[in-house]
Each structure stands twice: as structure tokens, then as C-alpha cells.
């Protein structure tokens, strides 16, 4: 006789697309959230210690199977490209320094006003101290110019119904 505890369920094969999540009842009346499609997630920028919700744009690499890249399947540890705007906006407001701009490119008046807005002396002093420490790696700078950052998914979308991860930095 087959037992309930022996059952296996079909894989979620979470794809890139408009959010669609099914709740699955599991043992003990608990629930798993089976993400069938996802397009957003929380991604963390480790060196700056911030996390922002951002759009997942593309699956670019998967160590386990190239088929998962072609079909844009989201699994744990796959490398994706995410939208860099939330991180760029935070960086520019935190350090009052433009990020992800082409060399010699002029800022719009709105962006110029945001970076050079009137601040108190205390705020000015704080910003100057931050500017000394706020350096990004050249590889990350290049990615900010393109508007997309490489990130790794650290959650399990088919189990938790979320697509969370961290931005890849360094080499």
C-alpha cells in the first residue's frame, strides 16, 4: 500500500512572468507556496547592507542545466539580471554622488537638483564623510551604466513562493 508520507509532487518549474503562486497543503496542515511565475524579488547589496525590491529581468546562467536558462526557469543559485534603478536611487540619495552615468554625460535638471539640494551644515558634513567611503567596484559600475545588475537567487521559489537573492560583487 502506498503511504501519504511517500508522496512526491511535480516540480514547480518557476518561470519568469506575471506573479502566479499556488498554496500547497503539506504535512501538519502547514503550507508551501508554489511559485509558478515570478517577476519581482528582494535583492540584497551586501557591501552596502541594503535590500530593495526589484524586477527580475532575465535568467543568464545556471550551473546545473543550460535548459533552465533557455526556458527562463527560476531556481535557487541561478544567476539573473535585475533592474538596477532602486539601488542606484538609494546610492545617489545616500552618498549624493551620481552612479551609473556614462563618462561626460550631462545630468538632467531634476537629477542635478536632487544631488545638489540644500542641506544643513550637519548633513553636508555627513555627506562629505560618506563620499570618502562610498566606492563601488569597476565591474559593478559598468553594470549600473547598462541598468542591469547580476544577482544570485538564494531562496527556493518553488518552495517559498519568493525570489530573493543577493547582488554579485567582485570578480
pLDDT at 171: 64
What tens digit of pLDDT does each residue of 101-159 get? 777 777 777 777 777 778 888 988 888 888 887 778 888 888 989 999 999 999 999 99
pLDDT in tens, 36-59: 999 999 999 988 899 999 999 999
What residues are paired with 82 via a beta bridge?
56, 149
Distance CA 152, CA 43 (A): 9
Average pLDDT in the chain? 89
DSSP-derived secondary structure for 127-146: HHHHHHH----HHHHHHHHH
Strand order in the sheet with 31-38: 15-16, 31-38, 20-25
Neighbours of 80 (CB within 10 A): 26
| Closest by CA position to 69, among listed 149, 161, 153 | 153
pTM (predicted TM-score): 0.88
Q: 115 with 107: CB under 8 angstroms?
A: yes
**Coil vs helix vs strand at 1:** coil
Amino acid at each position: 500500500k502506498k503511504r501519504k508520507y511517500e508522496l512526491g509532487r511535480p516540480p514547480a518549474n518557476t518561470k519568469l512572468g506575471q506573479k502566479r503562486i499556488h498554496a500547497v497543503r503539506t504535512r501538519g496542515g502547514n503550507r508551501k507556496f508554489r511559485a509558478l511565475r515570478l517577476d519581482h524579488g528582494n535583492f540584497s547589496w551586501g557591501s552596502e547592507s541594503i535590500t530593495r525590491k526589484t524586477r527580475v529581468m532575465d535568467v543568464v546562467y545556471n550551473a546545473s542545466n543550460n535548459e533552465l536558462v533557455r526556458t527562463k526557469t527560476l531556481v535557487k543559485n541561478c544567476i539573473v539580471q535585475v533592474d538596477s534603478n532602486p539601488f542606484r536611487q538609494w546610492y545617489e540619495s545616500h552618498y549624493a554622488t551620481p552612479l551609473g552615468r556614462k563618462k561626460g554625460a550631462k545630468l538632467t535638471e531634476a537629477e542635478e537638483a536632487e544631488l545638489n539640494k540644500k542641506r544643513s551644515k550637519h548633513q553636508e558634513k555627513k555627506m562629505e564623510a560618506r563620499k570618502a567611503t562610498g566606492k563601488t567596484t569597476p565591474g559593478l559600475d559598468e553594470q549600473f551604466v547598462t541598468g542591469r545588475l547580476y544577482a544570485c537567487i538564494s531562496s527556493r521559489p518553488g518552495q517559498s513562493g519568493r525570489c530573493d537573492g543577493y547582488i554579485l560583487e567582485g570578480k
